[in-house]
Structure 1
């Protein structure tokens, strides 16, 4: 082989090697950027969901506590109606916050979390409705036994529903920790 041809072939091989190395390096960099973007998106998504779940859970717990205090004000031979009324009004305001938080949570999802939140929301509304009926029937000859019993059942159910919501939210957050394919 003549020296000129060998030099051209050597240069061609060198250029092809450099171009190939550059292409592989560029592809690798793009893959790394895409992987990092997926990780950052998953972290952002998890944070957004966590905020939505917390924004729902905090007022839901507050409403439950307020409704229990309202029920205590209605119990006994000498119920504290002004305190019960005040607590029922506060609970109504808290339920408006729960409703708004549920709307944001319904968008964030996933569906099992939204369904659990919906169950909490409807349970709290039912609990308040029972207390209003109990309050309106004060002085009944049966001492409002039906409403007392219904409230006791609803208080237990709402605690269970909040527990299910918390578990569903935790599971959803665990599922968004690492994006698939990374």
Structure 2
């Protein structure tokens, strides 16, 4: 109907709805009671959809929060294991061949064996994050899984060289540190994406 202001975008805040009400209320005086019905319908539709978005956000927030937290905790434990193993193989690689590093190498191997045992747990928790979404978090956790495994492989490469009686050259040690730094940076990116996903109120756009 000519003279009516366009309906507000879905998700705008209540104060904007109040402003719209004032404008449309003034317009209704000119168009009569028929216009009043249209105004009421427009406002009800806007407010109803905003409420649905907020409710959707509330319902999805807790399951997502639980899935994100479980995966983040598992990753942190795995990262600590790998860092400890890396420090051990790095220390072993710096000693002269005549010095027995068997106890240190054996301890590093125990960390890597535990990492292998926990691989299934981490994979399961990552799958739960995939299910919960949204896409931004899925992308982040896929990158994190890839870079975590790259770090693990770098540590295994050095450890196997030491177990075979060969040295672990500085270039290999440098690769371990590089992979560690990348994995932890991507871990931070995952945490930021997860925090943003569970912090949304559902009013800024369509549910993810």
TM-score band, normalised by the shorter chain?
Answer: 0.7 to 0.9
Which of residues 120, 138, 142 is equivalent to 1:114?
A: 138
Match of 1:52 in 2: 67
Please report how far the alpha carbon of residue 178 of structure 1 lies from its aligned counterpart in structure 2 after TM superposition.
Answer: 3.6
> Does the aligned pair in 2 maintain the 1:120–1:165 contact within 8 Å?
yes
Unpaired segments of 5 or more residues in structure 2?
1-39, 96-100
> Does the aligned pair in 1 maintain the 2:50–2:203 contact within 8 Å?
no
Is residue 133 from structure 1 mapped to residue 148 from structure 2 by the alignment? no
Is residue 171 from structure 1 mapped to residue 196 from structure 2 by the alignment? yes
Match of 1:85 in 2: 109
Please report how far the alpha carbon of residue 106 of structure 1 lies from its aligned counterpart in structure 2 after TM superposition.
Answer: 0.7
In 1: Cα distance, 2:177 partner to 2:126 partner: 25
For each residue in 1:124-168, what CA deviation from the matched residue of structure 2 results, as whole angstroms up to 9, or x when unmatched? 111111111111111435x43222111100111111001000011
Could you say what secondary structure the match of 2:174 adopts?
Answer: helix
In 1: Cα distance, 2:142 partner to 2:50 partner: 35
In 2: Cα distance, 1:70 partner to 1:89 partner: 10
TM value normalised by structure 2: 0.64
In 2: Cα distance, 1:36 partner to 1:164 partner: 30
Cα distance, 1:167–1:140 mapped onto 2, change above 3 Å: same
In 1: Cα distance, 2:70 partner to 2:59 partner: 16
Q: Which has the higher helix share?
A: 1
Unpaired segments of 5 or more residues in structure 1?
1-23
Please report how far the alpha carbon of residue 174 of structure 1 lies from its aligned counterpart in structure 2 after TM superposition.
Answer: 2.0
TM value normalised by structure 1: 0.72
Match of 1:15 in 2: none
How many residues end up aligned between the 2 structures?
151
> Does the aligned pair in 2 maintain the 1:110–1:172 contact within 8 Å?
yes
In 2: Cα distance, 1:59 partner to 1:93 partner: 13
Which of residues 162, 187, 191 is equivalent to 1:162?
A: 187
